Structure 1
Amino acid sequence: MARHLQDIQNLGFDVEAVDDFTAVKQRVRSTGRNRVNPMMDVDRLDFTRKSAFWIFLQKDGVDIGSAGVKCEDLDDESFESYIRRTSRSQYAGSADLIEAVAPPLSSALAGKLIYIGELEFSSGAKGRRGLLPAFVGYLKALSALKWSDFDWMYAFIPEEHVSLARHYEFSFHVPRAVTWKSPPPPGRLDSHYVIGLDRASYRHAIRSKEEAERRQG
């Protein structure tokens, strides 16, 4: 986490983790995101400091980027059951809007999940080489520290952003993660991918980087 923070600061930026949910909504708007998706809407969800936080990228004290994170402890509920159930409450009340969930999601994602969403950079942060990997790396490290017994981290991303997925360093990529009944709800598309990383893979990646740095002196 310290390495990623140093990379961010070397580029002239800073980061702040925030669990004041009253302030989050206004601060997110300042980054250019005008709408918060229902799965991270602070107005409708009873977030606590133990269950969620936001991270803000700052330039000279001004918020120019953000992302939200929450812990979803599924216990023994399947991921398919969870996403069907929560999507009903988020978008349609009693109707099931999902046609199908990709089999790899149901077979892999289970237990305690860290969901990463609402990633937004304003024009002042876009195009800065190395900034996105450092920001996401810091976010992942902070999340893993907060919920050290997590089973998976995951995120939904648009198909056109799959080329940027290398910056997340998530090894699990599932196309057409969820197929929605027509028309899909706002902000959801059949073409969305789910990218993810399990705890063992995350820890292995950290150890590999540390060993590579030691070898380089």
Structure 2
Amino acid sequence: MNELRLANMLSLCIEALRAKGYELEQVAHGSDADVRAARVRSKDRSKPFALDKSDFSKAEAFWLFLKKDGQDVAFAAARVNEFEWGELAGYLDVSYRRLYPDCPFFIPKAPQTLLRLMHGRVVYLGELFFSPSHRGDAPNLRLFVHALFCLCVIKLRADWMFAFVPKKHDRFGYGRLYGFPRLDDAGFQWVKVPPGRRQETVCAISSGDLDARAEFFSCYPEQLTEVFADQK
């Protein structure tokens, strides 16, 4: 892992957004992030990021806000869990049974299931939201998410990052649009979908995946926004 390459990629994302009048701000979990997010989106945050449901410290999570003219227009949150011997699937099996006791789910036992491949320091990415007036710009979305990826590896020392994308969104290619190279649409199935959730595709990127991407853009920095623009 080359942290300098990742820092360079993060800088490229920041500068590309700044050229469009946007600014990024990293905020510690448990500060005023919940209040700020609520101003942009009225919907309650998901249970994995609810303070009264959490099992992690401020040092293990953060929020990233995108601002335009001093106003928050988008945000996302990241939290890390470390699995020295086990796998993400085993943790979710215990954690989600506690968070959603009345909503059974199924994780395939096949070893190639994406949730069973992820181990080490695994970061869950959630709460991604863009205000309606700032949606529809694919390059901005990709730049924001890639800045989030870089921060997860630099700040949280992530080995893997993953998210759940609603299947109806993934059918339109949202998982790839966000920048996740690994998708598993059969890796997690709700038997009974809880309120606020949907049937979802597991999307992931490893630190190695991100490092390879950063290496490419370190050689061809001019391609960063052009490649993203192709995703419109």
TM-score, normalisation: structure 1? 0.88
The reply to whether residue 98 of structure 1 matches residue 108 of structure 2 is no
Could you list the per-position Cα deviations for residues 96-123 of structure 1 after superposition, in whole angstroms to 9, with x for gaps in the alignment?
8223347312441112101111100102
Alignment match of 2:13 (pick from 4, 16, 20): 4
State which of 144, 152, 157 in structure 2 corresponds to 1:143: 152
2:195 aligned counterpart, secondary structure: coil
Number of residue-to-residue matches in the alignment = 210
Mapped to 2, the partners of 1:8 and 1:135 lie a distance apart of 8
45, 61, 72: which is aligned to 2:54?
Answer: 45
Instruction: Write the distance in 1 (CA, Å) between the matches of 2:107 and 2:75.
Output: 31
Unaligned runs of 5+ in 2: 1-9, 224-232
Q: Is 2:190 the counterpart of 1:180?
A: yes
TM-score between both structures, scaled by the size of structure 2? 0.83
Alpha-carbon contact 1:136-1:167 (below 8 Å) kept: no
Secondary structure at the counterpart of residue 32 of structure 2: helix
Q: Does 1:166 align with 2:176?
A: yes
- Aligned-partner residue type, residue 164 of structure 1: Y
In 2, are the aligned partners of 1:17 and 1:55 still within 8 Å (CA)? Answer: yes
190, 194, 203: which one aligns with 1:195: 203
Change in CA separation of 1:8 and 1:43 when aligned onto 2, cut-off 3 Å: farther
Q: Equivalent pairs: percent with the same residue?
A: 24
Q: Deviations over 1:118-167 (max 9, x none)?
A: 1001023112351101111111111111123x221111101232212233
Instruction: Give the AA of the match of 1:97.
Output: P
What residue identity is the alignment partner of 1:65? A
- State the match for 2:227 in structure 1: none
User: What letter is aligned with 1:63?
Assistant: D
* Distance in structure 1 (CA, Å) of the matches to 2:151 and 2:91: 25
Query: Does the CA contact (< 8 Å) of 1:54 and 1:68 recur in 2?
Result: yes
Contact 1:67–1:119 (CA under 8 A) maintained in structure 2: yes
- For residues 190 and 205 of structure 2, the distance between their equivalents in structure 1, rounded to whole angstroms, comes to 24
Alpha-carbon distance in 1 for matches of 2:118, 2:29 = 29
Residue 42 of structure 1 aligns to a residue in which SS?
coil
Tell me the residue number matched to 2:214.
206
CA distance in structure 2 between the partners assigned to 1:197 and 1:169 by the alignment: 8
Question: 2:116 & 2:29 partners in 1: Cα distance?
Answer: 35
Residue 87 of structure 1, aligned match among 68, 71, 96: 96
Aligned CA-pair RMSD:
2.1
Q: CA 1:106/1:214 → structure 2, altered by over 3 Å: closer, same or farther?
A: closer
- Name 1:73's counterpart in structure 2: 82
